């Protein structure tokens, strides 16, 4: 079934110990869409400026992503500049330029309003709320955020959490949001804000899911070479939501599989800068790595 995503479409400038990229295609909704497109039809809501070219549009077309909701307006596309040191889990933001996102008022095309799976990718929580107000009875709503919004729009984010089924957040941001150093206590705090399910992304240490009384821990794939972690969180969310939308099943067992598909997509994404790897995968690549994950964590009962 279809997925609706709202989030950033951006030009990123990224520096890692292994190289750099200048003004390359990025953004939370971009990474999410490319990743989820392997599992389900994705419909995108975002805004770009006049500097967004046909070549960039081709990336969405290639993956059959519906961009009726991608508005092009006067001005410059959103820009993010970041740096990673040897600890690739921690992105250091050098500069954020909202540009066309500062005045963006998302209006959903009529046919987007009945889409059953909704992902509110990292963007201003006020815009995430505006999108949510326009959809009619979605089956499952998930959202992401980052420290920039926790620090700048805390109240809007708290409000948003009342209406989502699943919240996906980084480990350090979960602690920051809950103002609580213990991850388990932070998780309880966040669940009390509304979402039934919480997934905490832990970079190269994997992900933790809190679902009611159950806790599930998934590893990350032990890659030999990581070039650029940008978009790992969004491609994780893309694989996760893509698999949920493909199966239509939000039971605990299926959610565990979905988390592994998310981890598979994130592991491919960090093997290159921008979307270079995500653009060229096959279902066979994805399934092969899924099975490697299974072997990685399998052990017998005592
Ligand atoms: P992640 O998956 O967490 O690595 O997210 C990386 C993407 O987030 C980059 O491609 C950025 O363009 C985008 N990004 C960075 N800061 C923001 C922000 N404040 N709002 C929305 N998107 C952002």
CATH of the domain at 293: 3.40.1190.20
- 159 assigned to some structural domain: yes
264 falls within a domain: yes
3-state SS assignment for residue 139: coil
pLDDT one-digit tens code per residue, 25-76: 999 999 999 999 999 999 999 999 999 999 999 999 999 999 999 999 999 9
3-state secondary structure of 74: coil
Domain presence at residue 19: yes
Residue 30 within a domain:
yes
78 Cα–ligand 1 center, Å: 10
Q: Which of 205, 199, 203, 204 is nearest to 187 (CA)?
A: 199
What was the pLDDT predicted at 86? 84
Q: Quick one: average pLDDT of 155-161? A: 98
| Residue of minimum CA distance from atom 15 in ligand 1 | 80
pLDDT at 130: 96
Pocket of ligand 1 (CB under 6 A): 8, 10, 12, 26-28, 31, 80, 96, 122-123, 146, 148, 230-234
Q: What is the reported pLDDT for 182? A: 95
Structural domain count of the chain: 1
Domain presence at residue 52: yes
Structure tokens at 255: 């959610």
Query: Which tens digit of pLDDT belongs to each residue from 171-212?
Result: 999 999 999 999 999 999 999 999 999 999 998 899 999 998
Q: Average pLDDT of 119-135? A: 96
Ligand 1 atom with the shortest distance to the CA of 80: 12
Whether residue 302 is contained in a domain is answered as no
In a domain, 23, yes or no: yes
The residue whose CA is least distant from atom 14 of ligand 1 is 27
- 144 pLDDT above the threshold of 90: yes
User: Residue 213: what pLDDT?
Assistant: 87
* Matching residue, tokens 């059959």: 64
Token code pair at residue 213: 């009384």
Domain that residue 144 falls in: 3-297
Q: In whole angstroms, what is the distance from residue 262 CA to residue 41 CA?
A: 16
Q: How far is the CA of 122 from the centre of ligand 1 (A)?
A: 7
pLDDT at 90 over 90: no
Give the number of other Cβ atoms within 10 Å of residue 201's Cβ.
26
């Amino acid at each position: 079934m279809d997925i609706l995503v709202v989030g950033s479409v951006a030009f990123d400038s990224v520096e890692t110990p292994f190289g750099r990229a200048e003004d390359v295609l990025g953004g939370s909704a971009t990474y999410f869409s490319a990743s989820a497109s392997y599992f389900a039809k994705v419909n995108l809501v975002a805004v770009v400026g006049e500097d967004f070219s046909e070549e960039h549009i081709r990336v969405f077309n290639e993956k059959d992503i519906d961009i009726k909701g991608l508005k092009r307006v006067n001005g410059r596309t959103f820009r993010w500049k970041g740096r990673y040191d040897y600890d690739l889990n921690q992105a250091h933001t050098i500069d954020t330029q909202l540009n066309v996102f500062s005045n963006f008022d998302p209006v959903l095309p009529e046919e987007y309003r009945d889409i059953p799976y909704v992902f509110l990718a990292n963007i201003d929580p006020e815009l995430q709320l505006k999108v949510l107000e326009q959809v009619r009875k979605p089956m499952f709503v998930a959202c992401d955020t980052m420290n920039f919004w926790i620090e700048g729009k805390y109240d809007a984010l708290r409000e948003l959490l009342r209406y989502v089924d699943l919240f996906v957040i980084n480990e350090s941001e979960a602690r920051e949001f809950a103002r609580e150093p213990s991850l388990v206590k932070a998780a309880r705090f966040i669940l009390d804000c509304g979402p039934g399910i919480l997934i905490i992304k832990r970079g190269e240490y994997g992900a933790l899911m809190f679902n009611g009384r159950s806790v599930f821990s998934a590893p990350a794939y032990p890659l030999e070479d990581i070039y650029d972690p940008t978009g790992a969180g969004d491609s994780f969310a893309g694989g996760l939501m893509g698999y949920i939308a493909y199966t239509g099943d939000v039971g605990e067992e299926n959610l565990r599989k979905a988390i592994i598909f998310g981890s598979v997509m994130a592991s491919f994404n960090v093997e290159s800068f921008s979307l270079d790897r995500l653009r060229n995968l096959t279902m066979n690549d994805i399934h092969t790595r899924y099975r490697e994950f299974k072997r990685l964590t399998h052990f017998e009962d005592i």
